[in-house]
């Protein structure tokens, strides 16, 4: 059927007519009758039509044509009468005469509206009687018995809320909470925001009007007055206000979440997402400073290679054995030895004019070149590799590429270093985890081709296993200090009793602590500078598993690069001390 909506709307919004007034305002004491009358009134404008589809389509086409013609007439007459359309599409206004007009579809002409007092930017209408209509012309706020304004959607709805809708004011979160909890002892905080003036208003329930507020910002349960911050707390049906500090206010404003067990550290995501950003509060500048893996990786993407290795930290991969080896060559307490070891590390990569990095695995005579785009692609993808230095990432990529060839069986036996120096093959056949697990001996040999020495604790307190030979000795402070004089020293220990070992480089030992250089720097650390870390001696030696050391003087002998099985032996002293001693 064809319904002329314009005729229906016309009968509703022509509020100047007596018939509509009767429809809105009569029978105030009988709400049920009003609803019934409303329904009947709407239905009375519709005439049932029974036509075939052809007739319906023809009528529809005619209706559209008529509508287009009426719109054209409306616009023409509005121009002649100098009328401008208001925020309500059904009402026009003559600014010179300060008069509202409505369009009569039947007579194709404008008529003055005697009952409209104001049309709001929201399209709501205020009548000269002091009541309010919705944009469609429905009664929205009425006068109860000619005196008190009451929203028509229920006596228990707040007048302030209704008038805020009329004016287009946005109810603040605090006002919503106060209303929801039925709290009235903080009326001054029943705040609404006016987008037009960019100011907050408060609802004065006594005078039934909005008033200017000295509140300048509302964020959740927090608000500002000038340069002071406050928070409203709720308890049952009462509320109280306390002054808040700038940090908690800005954290709340930014929608951040506090990281548990870390004071002053926040994040934009609750869970452990790779792309989350961390923030810390800077008291000097009174601002939240972004940091963490995502920020550092973004920084790396903008940096150019400089031929130097700066600070870096371990990513998601368990390649501490490789990163510890690099740290060992960069950080040694003896400056002369430190420069010597650095020069050996410098031979492990080179840079061309295009800033491509070529990784040289001296121990197996393999070279792998990576462009800026190659390195960027893995940085964007994940935190798989270390974070902080592009040269280190290239070394990881080169090492991983070689180890993948071992996994895939693409190298002949003559090309594969034996497990005397590789010690432990990659822990998995998953090529994405080729770096996940290894030894310093593997890293040092592949990077430099130099020999290392490996020492382990045994089940005997006074016996150690060094380079496959059981001998009397102790893996203690004296042993470590002696080796550190002329060597890089690396230690493997069970951190916090974990089943997995963690590898670090040794830096020094004093009266109470052992100093190490660790690549596994906590993401929550604001300062990512690599520096010696102190560990209490009792903790360190109780968790110590093994030690690897090297002075990088001797190349690995050809015999030791053959893929042969390791043979163990025991010294005469061990055999005398423990006649029943059995080799591994």
Out of 85-94, 101-110, 428-437, pick the least confident.
428-437
Statement to judge: residues 152 and 57 lie in one domain:
yes
Q: Is residue 257 located within the same domain as residue 344?
A: no
Q: How far is residue 235's CA from residue 185's CA, in Å, rounded to a whole number?
A: 12
Reference 364, options 560, 563, 561; nearest CA is: 561
**How large is the average pLDDT for residues 469-476?**
93
pLDDT category at 83 given cuts 50, 70, 90 is: very high
Q: Is the pLDDT of residue 189 over 60?
A: yes
pLDDT for position 408: 62
* Residue at 43 is within a domain: yes
Q: What is the DSSP string of 34-92?
A: HHHHHHHHHHHT-------HHHHHHHHHHHHHHHHHHHHHHHHHHHHTT-EE-SSTTEE
Residue 584, domain member (yes or no): no
- The span from the CA of 220 to the CA of 232, in Å, is 9
Residue 357 phi, psi dihedral angles, 5° rounding = -110, 125
pLDDT, mean of residues 14-41? 36
| Residue 57 main-chain phi, psi, to 5 deg | -65, -40
Looking at the fold, whether 33 and 115 belong to one and the same domain comes out as: yes
Domain membership of residue 206 (yes or no) is yes
Q: State how far the alpha carbon of 102 is from the alpha carbons of 78, 108, 115, 167, 473, in Å.
A: 10, 11, 11, 22, 105
The string of DSSP letters for 432-493 reads GGTTSS--HHHHHHHHH-B--EEEEE-SSTTEEEETTEEEE---SHHHHHHHHTTSEEEEEE
CA 435 to chain centre: 28
Mean pLDDT of all residues in 524-540? 88
Looking at the structure, tell me whether residues 341 and 472 fall in a common domain: yes
* Residue at token pair 């509020």: 15
How many independent structural domains does the chain possess? 4
Last residue of a domain, one of 105, 122, 157: 157
Q: How many CA atoms lie within 13 A of 316 on its CB side?
A: 13
Is 582 inside a domain boundary?
no
**310 and 430 fall within a common domain:** yes
pLDDT given for residue 64 in this prediction: 52
Give the three-state DSSP class for 249.
helix
| Same domain for 320 and 198 | no
Same domain? For 270 and 349 the reply is no
Packed helices 372-381 and 390-408: angle between N→C axes, nearest 10 degrees: 80
Instruction: Calculate the average pLDDT of the chain.
Output: 81
pLDDT on residue 312: 93
In this structure, are 408 and 461 located in the same domain? yes
Q: 435 or 228, which is more confident?
A: 228
CA–CA separation, 444 and 555 (whole Å): 11
For residue 583, is it within any domain? no
Domain region containing 560:
297-577
Question: Tell me, what's the pLDDT at 49?
Answer: 34
b/e 321-333 (16+ beta carbons within 10 angstroms → b): bbbbbbbbbbbbe
Does 135 lie in the same domain as 217? no
C-alpha–C-alpha distance, residues 99 and 109, integer Å:
15
Is 343 a residue whose pLDDT tops 60?
yes
- Residues 158-175 have pLDDT tens digits of 899 999 999 999 999 998
**Structure confidence at residue 409 as a pLDDT band (50, 70, 90):** low
pLDDT at residue 383, rounded to an integer: 78
Confidence of residue 27 (pLDDT cuts 50, 70, 90): very low
In the β-sheet with 469-472, what is the strand arrangement from edge to edge? 533-536, 513-517, 501-509, 488-494, 544-550, 453-457, 463-466, 469-472, 569-570
Q: What pLDDT is attached to residue 44?
A: 35
pLDDT at 16 > cutoff 70: no
Q: Based on the domain organization, do 374 and 506 belong to the same domain? A: yes
**Last residue in a domain, options 106, 127, 157:** 157
**pTM, 2 dp:** 0.69
Residue with token string 């022509």: 14
> Where among 244, 278, 305 does a domain terminate?
244
Rounded CA-CA distance 247/264 in Å is 9
Which tokens hold the place of 577?
């001390």
Same domain for 280 and 305, yes or no, is no
Whether 109 and 253 share a structural domain: no
Give the residue from 440, 474, 481, 478 showing the smallest Cα distance to 457: 474
Closest CA to 555 of 444, 465, 467, 456: 444
Among 244, 227, 234, which Cα is nearest to 174's?
234
């Amino acid at each position: 059927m064809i319904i002329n909506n314009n005729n229906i709307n016309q009968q509703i919004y022509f509020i100047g007519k007596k018939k509509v007034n009767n429809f809105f305002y009569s029978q105030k004491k009988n709400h049920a009758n009003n609803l019934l009358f409303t329904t009947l009134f709407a239905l009375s404008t519709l005439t049932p039509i029974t036509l075939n589809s052809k007739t319906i389509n023809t009528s529809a086409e005619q209706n559209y044509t008529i509508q287009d013609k009426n719109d054209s007439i409306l616009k023409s007459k509005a121009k002649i009468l100098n009328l401008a359309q208001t925020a309500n599409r059904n009402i026009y206004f003559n600014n010179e005469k300060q008069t509202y007009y409505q369009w009569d579809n039947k007579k194709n002409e404008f008529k003055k509206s005697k009952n409209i007092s104001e049309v709001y930017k929201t399209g709501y209408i205020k009548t000269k009687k002091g009541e309010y209509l919705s944009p469609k012309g429905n009664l929205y706020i009425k006068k109860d018995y000619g005196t008190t304004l009451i929203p028509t959607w229920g006596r228990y709805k707040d007048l302030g809320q209704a008038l805020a809708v009329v004016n287009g004011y946005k109810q603040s979160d605090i006002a919503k909470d106060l209303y929801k909890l039925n709290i009235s002892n903080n009326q001054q905080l029943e705040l609404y925001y006016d987008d037009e003036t960019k100011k907050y208003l408060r609802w004065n329930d006594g005078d039934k009007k909005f008033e200017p507020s000295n509140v300048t910002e509302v964020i959740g349960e927090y608000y500002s007055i000038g340069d002071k911050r406050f928070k409203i707390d709720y308890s049952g049906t009462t509320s109280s206000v306390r002054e808040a500090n700038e940090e908690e206010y800005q954290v709340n404003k930014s929608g951040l979440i506090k990281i548990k067990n870390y004071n002053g550290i926040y994040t934009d995501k609750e869970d452990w997402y790779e792309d989350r950003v961390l923030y810390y509060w800077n008291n000097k500048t009174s601002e939240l400073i972004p940091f963490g893996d995502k920020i550092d990786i973004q920084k790396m993407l903008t940096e150019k290679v400089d031929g130097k290795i700066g600070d870096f930290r371990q990513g998601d991969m368990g390649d501490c054995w490789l990163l510890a080896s690099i740290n060992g060559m960069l950080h040694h307490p003896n400056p002369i030895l430190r420069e010597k070891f650095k020069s050996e590390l410098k031979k492990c990569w080179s840079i061309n004019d295009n800033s491509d990095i070529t990784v040289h695995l001296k121990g197996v005579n393999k070279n792998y070149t990576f462009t800026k785009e190659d390195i960027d692609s893995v940085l964007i993808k994940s935190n798989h590799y270390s974070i902080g230095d592009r040269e280190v990432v290239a070394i990881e990529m080169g090492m991983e590429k070689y180890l993948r060839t071992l996994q895939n069986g693409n190298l002949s036996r003559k090309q594969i270093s034996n497990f005397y120096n590789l010690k432990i093959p990659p822990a998995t056949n998953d090529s994405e985890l080729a770096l996940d697990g290894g030894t310093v001996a593997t890293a040092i040999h592949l990077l430099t081709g130099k020999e290392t020495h490996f020492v382990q604790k045994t089940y005997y307190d006074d016996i150690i296993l060094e380079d496959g030979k059981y001998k009397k000795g102790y893996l203690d402070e004296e042993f470590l200090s002696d080796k550190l004089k002329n060597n890089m020293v690396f230690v493997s220990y069970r951190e916090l009793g974990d089943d997995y070992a963690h590898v670090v480089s040794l830096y020094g030992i004093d009266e109470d602590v052992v100093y190490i250089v660790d690549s596994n720097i906590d993401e929550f650390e604001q300062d990512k500078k690599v520096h010696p870390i102190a560990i209490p001696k009792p903790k360190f030696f109780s968790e110590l598993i093994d030690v690897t050391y090297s002075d990088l003087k001797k190349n690995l002998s050809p015999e030791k690069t053959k893929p042969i099985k390791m043979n163990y032996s025991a010294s005469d002293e061990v055999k005398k001390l423990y006649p029943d001693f059995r080799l591994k």
